[in-house]
Structure 1
């Protein structure tokens, strides 16, 4: 068994911080660029680099050429010739956008649908660039607020008019969501659930 030094790659998003990741990696303090994420994995858009006897190699390249050596038979048998996870270190200074990650069935169906539509791998209109699910696990290294999951369809279908009002702010928020819910329900009932699910969660937390 061999052990290789592994070098990750930084992602510079607008919501990232300027201190935590640079300090973690002992980067120069004068670099004021925002560093939102540090990736360790074999994602082809930002693969980590391993140091071998033949020089540096992108991890996804090394796995593709020697999958048994870098993954082992158990991982290959379950996930194929790919590293089945991506480790990210995040420094969140501002709220992130809402993210929706597919499960295994949704990923396979969506990928097949985009392929059938003739969309190239990097086409901006594509929703699924691979057929793999995107479950996430988060380990907080400092105090962190995370809104996760959605209310059940049965609760959402009742509609928001029965919510208790606690002050002008909550009343205004509930009234706005009622309007959105009503418009979506008239146009397409299933859409009302998808559009309002997150809004209802957010309003319930503010009340």
Structure 2
């Protein structure tokens, strides 16, 4: 291959929870239709594959380019382990909450995908849980203040919050949790909430909103905000169960399989394994399979100070280590000095600020804020210079 670096043209997803101006305000990317710009996908996922500007072929799909020379594009190790680009990189901007969700383990994803195929459930069916046989660990990196819910609170804290709300019809199940503060009992209580009849659920939500009407602190403010967009949704109870956290710009959070979470508002970067498997628990009009979700949920409690990923700073780079092989993530501070970057796998670079020029012996490409590039494994080595900030996704 003569060309090993390509500028990307990426797919925008206009989901209704997206912000109209979040991505525009941060990156200066225009939104001429004024639709919600929820996500920009950078990668080779079939539902939103990036296009590349190839010197020989013109504008083509990144997945097609990878298929033509897989080992040169990905490296032999990645190609043997994953057969395609193993990660998907996104800009994500939420104006209202995404669904409360978990992602299955790799083993459960393979089993669930095979089972639903055997049952003849179409891949695009509304009641399909598993779109592929892959897991979906992910990392979110905040570009603006970024609010989310993630992992169960300490059980004692959950009990206190529910006792403060003091809904009569929940006194008995909460007292059971208080007397047996164990993940199994938390699982039982969570399942109880998810399987309420419509009339009981609506009654409990009505009582909840009445009880917290005068409360002006968290997590009750989050419940009130969610109620504006998702009235009569069982997800309104989740801020009492899950940690509510606001990441500050430059902070990141890794989410492993089986971790309950929901992104609530803000603009950030998300990198994940190349999968679309989502099991939902609330704050959604989409399909909810309570039993499948519960079987794929970790009921371990985590404290608020355990939620963030601790960065490792070395020279001009900030690394956010993750315990998976599908992806890695770094922030690179670039200046007028020329620095070399070794390429051990395919990379996607996104310019977060300024202007940075990438060069090899035969190629040169400049990225400005909001622009991205794909770097093939065969590049081997490239240099970068210019005052700016790059986000690097690789494996």
Contact 2:110/2:133 (<8 A) preserved = yes
- Tell me which residue corresponds to 1:171: 166
Does residue 75 in structure 1 map to residue 78 in structure 2? yes
**Which of 55, 59, 69 lines up with 1:56 in the alignment?**
59
Higher RCO, Cα 8 Å, sep 6+: 2
After superposition, the Cα gap between the structure-2 partners of 1:73 and 1:131, relative to the gap in structure 1 and judged at 3 Å, is same
Pairwise CA distance, 1:68:
1.4
- Tell me which residue corresponds to 1:100: 102
Contact 2:53/2:59 (<8 A) preserved = yes
Q: Distance in 1 between matches of 2:27 and 2:71?
A: 30
Does residue 203 in structure 1 map to residue 240 in structure 2? yes
Aligned pairs for 1:65-144 within 5 A: 65-79=68-82, 81-144=83-146
The structure carrying a bigger strand percent of its residues is: 2
3-state SS of 1:133 partner:
coil
Aligned residue pairs, count:
190
- Tell me which residue corresponds to 1:146: 148
- Tell me which residue corresponds to 2:314: none
Contact 1:150/1:201 (<8 A) preserved = no
Give deviations 1:176-201, integer Å, cap 9, x for gaps.
8949x99xxxxxx9973553598876
Say which is worse superposed, 26-35 or 100-109, in terms of deviation.
Answer: 26-35
3-state SS of 1:44 partner:
coil
The RMSD of aligned alpha carbons is 3.5
The answer for unaligned runs of 5 or more in structure 1 is 183-188
Contact 1:49/1:56 (<8 A) preserved = yes
Contact 2:12/2:41 (<8 A) preserved = yes
3-state SS of 2:132 partner:
coil
The answer for unaligned runs of 5 or more in structure 2 is 178-184, 195-234, 245-395
- Tell me which residue corresponds to 2:6: 4
Give deviations 1:152-205, integer Å, cap 9, x for gaps.
9xx59xxx8xx336886x1129828949x99xxxxxx99735535988762156
The structure carrying a bigger helix percent of its residues is: 1
Q: Distance in 2 between matches of 1:62 and 1:114?
A: 31
3-state SS of 2:46 partner:
coil
